[in-house]
Amino acid sequence: MKNILFVASEGVPFIKTGGLADVVGSLPKCIDKKYFDIRVILPKYTCMKPEFKEMLTFKQNFYMDFHWKNAYVGILEAEYEGIKFYFIDNEGYFGGMRPYCDDPLWEIEKFAFFSKAALSALPLIGFKPDIIHCHDWQTGLIPVYLKERFAGNDFFKGIKTIMTIHNLKFQGKWSIKDVKEITGLSDYYFTPDKLEAYKDANLLKGGIVFADAITTVSETYAEEIKTQFYGEGLDGLLNSRANDLRGIVNGIDYKDFNPETDPFIEKKYNARDFRKEKVKNKLKLQEELGLKKDANTMMIGIVSRLTDQKGFDLIAYVMDELCRDNIQIVVLGTGEERYENMFRHFDWKYSDKVSGNIYYSEPLSHKIYAACDAFLMPSLFEPCGLSQLMALRYGTVPIVRETGGLKDTVEPYNEYESTGTGFSFLNYNAHEMLGTVRYAEHIYYDKKREWNKIIDRGMSRDFSWYTSAAKYQAMYDWMIG
């Protein structure tokens, strides 16, 4: 039996702000239990929902030397869907209304504490991992601490580490002086070949330098981050570690996202009967959102954070032109004020064509995946992206920019060979996007049989976590030997 420990700042169902939580909560369930004992350590946030807090049982506590003080560390435990979760408790660090705050120095102190406490707790819970799988900058200090203060302890000998980058934009950067004081690391660690980057300390960089292997969440993103445009200042380091870097695309939970059993949608359907049944979800959503009821009008969905990264400047640039077409656009999400207001404006201006829902709702997101004909994702960069996988699962044709995970998971339609599962464009250009949307409209309206074949191919692809899990298992086996 091989022991694997996930350490992360969030994980479903206990706490979630983004895609990281889906990976940490869903991937362990799909790893083969015959060969791997896989467990997870998370912070115990006071903002967790009461029903999850009630699942936790207290194991023990200890005091740990941290940032010139004796800090309390509680260890709690819960089992969920066959996976053992441990929680590091300290209300001083993990109190508050949200898991993260806007003070970068406080975030660094909080997750430095978490990294050290997670390692310190291992002998007490009696679990010695062969591999610690660290997720994003919040756990970047774990590979560093393992090589530093934990190196002399026999319990920690031979433990290997993997650093997974979910989004390279977030790195945990601050002044060397403060980070040195918080972490207790010596000057030796704050040099350009270790934690120092552009005169600051960088926690993610530390994780990348000291980890035994590095992964990211799609093959294309693993290549992109070695270039200056996507590399966020770390492209040189990632090139130097290219042999230890691989991309494994994320999956989605096929139980939660299943048009045959989805409790949120009007009419259940599958790959065999979508031609008849899927449209009933469209008519219901049109009615619910006050759009013109018409089974034939092409409906395009967007479920996203409304930020520059997601390509909303492109959409803003051509939105008026787009609204002249025979389409409807349904948007769900929150984000930058200018994009929220842009969709409110077009909802007012084209009230029978555009529905701007500036909030977040899990049930409405499922209804959009099930009701829409196409799904638009013109991201500037997208490490993996999950929305296009959900769209494919629901027979909603993705229209994406060829970047990161979007390029790896959406095969562009080729009308001459009748292949592909969606539509894509290459350059980050509003009119190239508009041209691709209009090409999709042409296939939808003028070549309905071709459109349905695109859906057939999309719904037959397997982007469940089991596919990704097999690749992670192969990597764990290779590392442990």
Whether residue 55 is predicted with pLDDT greater than 90 in this model: the reply is yes
pLDDT at 372 (0 to 100): 98
pLDDT for 154-200, tens place per residue? 999 999 999 999 999 999 999 999 999 999 999 999 999 999 999 99
| 266 in any annotated domain | no
Please indicate, yes or no, whether residues 31 and 124 belong to a single structural domain of this protein: yes
Helices 430-446 and 448-460: crossing angle, nearest 10°? 110
Please indicate, yes or no, whether residues 328 and 410 belong to a single structural domain of this protein: yes
Please indicate, yes or no, whether residues 311 and 183 belong to a single structural domain of this protein: no
Please indicate, yes or no, whether residues 292 and 403 belong to a single structural domain of this protein: yes
Q: What distance in Å separates the CA atoms of residue 433 and residue 430, rounded to the nearest whole number?
A: 5
Q: How confident is the model at residue 215 (pLDDT cuts 50, 70, 90)?
A: very high
For residue 312, what are the contacts with CB-CB under 8 A and spacing of at least 6?
Answer: 304, 306, 335, 336, 339, 342
Whether residue 405 is predicted with pLDDT greater than 90 in this model: the reply is yes
pLDDT at 445 (0 to 100): 98
Q: What distance in Å separates the CA atoms of residue 328 and residue 275, rounded to the nearest whole number?
A: 19
Q: Alpha helix locations (H) across 307-403?
A: 312-323, 337-349, 362-371, 387-393
Cβ–Cβ < 8 Å for 151, 143: no
| 258 in any annotated domain | no
pLDDT at 268 (0 to 100): 98
| 260 in any annotated domain | no
pLDDT at 258 (0 to 100): 98
Domain count, the chain: 2
Please indicate, yes or no, whether residues 242 and 302 belong to a single structural domain of this protein: no
pLDDT for 7-34, tens place per residue? 999 999 999 988 899 899 999 999 999 9
pLDDT at 214 (0 to 100): 98
pLDDT for 310-319, tens place per residue? 999 999 999 9
| 104 in any annotated domain | yes
Give the CATH number, domain containing residue 407: 3.40.50.2000
CA distances to 3, 38, 51 from 21, rounded to whole Å, are 21, 16, 18
pLDDT at 18 (0 to 100): 82
Please indicate, yes or no, whether residues 85 and 186 belong to a single structural domain of this protein: yes
Average the pLDDT over 387-403 and give the result. Answer: 98
Q: What distance in Å separates the CA atoms of residue 130 and residue 183, rounded to the nearest whole number?
A: 25
| Mean pLDDT for all residues in the chain | 97
Please indicate, yes or no, whether residues 284 and 427 belong to a single structural domain of this protein: yes
pLDDT at 17 (0 to 100): 87
Average the pLDDT over 109-117 and give the result. Answer: 98
Please indicate, yes or no, whether residues 207 and 324 belong to a single structural domain of this protein: no
% of the chain surpassing 90 pLDDT? 98
| 262 in any annotated domain | no
pLDDT at 163 (0 to 100): 98
pLDDT at 19 (0 to 100): 83
Please indicate, yes or no, whether residues 244 and 288 belong to a single structural domain of this protein: no
pLDDT at 400 (0 to 100): 98
Note the pTM of the prediction, 2 decimals: 0.94
Lowest mean pLDDT among 10-19, 132-141, 244-253, 450-459: 10-19
Whether residue 415 is predicted with pLDDT greater than 90 in this model: the reply is yes
Strand partners, 63: 72
| 264 in any annotated domain | no
Q: What distance in Å separates the CA atoms of residue 24 and residue 472, rounded to the nearest whole number?
A: 13
Whether residue 329 is predicted with pLDDT greater than 90 in this model: the reply is yes
Average the pLDDT over 391-397 and give the result. Answer: 98
Please indicate, yes or no, whether residues 12 and 35 belong to a single structural domain of this protein: yes
| 10 in any annotated domain | yes
| 259 in any annotated domain | no
Please indicate, yes or no, whether residues 350 and 233 belong to a single structural domain of this protein: no
Average the pLDDT over 362-376 and give the result. Answer: 97
pLDDT at 279 (0 to 100): 98
pLDDT at 406 (0 to 100): 98
Whether residue 458 is predicted with pLDDT greater than 90 in this model: the reply is yes
pLDDT at 481 (0 to 100): 82
Residue 417 lies in domain:
274-461
Please indicate, yes or no, whether residues 179 and 326 belong to a single structural domain of this protein: no
Average the pLDDT over 374-395 and give the result. Answer: 97
CA nearest 40: which of 69, 67, 78, 73?
Answer: 78
pLDDT for 272-310, tens place per residue? 999 999 999 999 999 999 999 999 999 999 999 999 999
